[in-house]
Homo-oligomer: A and B are copies of this chain.
Amino acid sequence: MKIGVIGAGNVGGALGKLWAEKGHEIMFGVPDPRGAKVQELVKSIGKHARAGSVKEAASFGEVVVFATPWPATQDAIKSSGDLSDKIVVDCTNPLAPDLSGLVIGTTNSAGEEVARWARGAKVVKAFNTIGAPNFGNPRFGSEAASMFICGDDASAKTVVSTLASELGFEVVDAGPLTASRLLEPLAMLWIHLAFKQGLGPTGHAFKLLRR
């Protein structure tokens, strides 16, 4: 697939690299596509990756992945141009700057905000509930970590499920996009355990056990 990855930090960089290894075509969308950092990333990945503006990457992708810090997300979506009927993957979490918690929740979520901003897009919340260093290694002993996703478009969720399964995650469909109100606190719990409770960035993952 052609995947536009908006943001080339920990989350976007890891996803782009791993999906390129699976044969997908990646364009990273960043404010300065000639910058040293993104060019180095693209070079390290090889032929399946390139860099462009946010608008170019959004236009390029059949799937457009927002892997932006929450405060930069609205502007990134504005810069993306028309996202109608695109599959948009929202990896964001509305974190307080000190990681003390979420800045929105309970009756709203980043996922729902993204859907309001990306008018007409098929938004799927995914890749937000476990730290990016684990995207390439989602097995913990004999168990695969779960990737919880939610969204209102079934066909978009099927595509995103495949992209998560290709990385080795066991996908859990948590239902409609309003379930972002639950998946973002789950992400916050992962972050809290990693950085406030001392488990670190690669030691833990959530799994939905089934009988």
Chain A residues packing against B (C-beta within 8 Å): 101-102, 104-107, 140-143, 145, 148, 172-175, 178-179, 181-183, 185-186, 188-189, 192-193, 196-197, 199, 202-211
Contacts and interface: CB of A to CB of B under 8 A. Distances in A.
Nearest to A191: B182
Nearest to A107: B101
Given A102-B106, A182-B188, A185-B185, 5 more contacts: A104-B106, A145-B209, A173-B197, A204-B208, A204-B209
B183 A189 contact: yes
Given A101-B107, A208-B206, A189 B182 contact: yes
A197 B174 contact: yes
A175 B192 contact: yes
Contacts of A101: 106-107, 178, 181
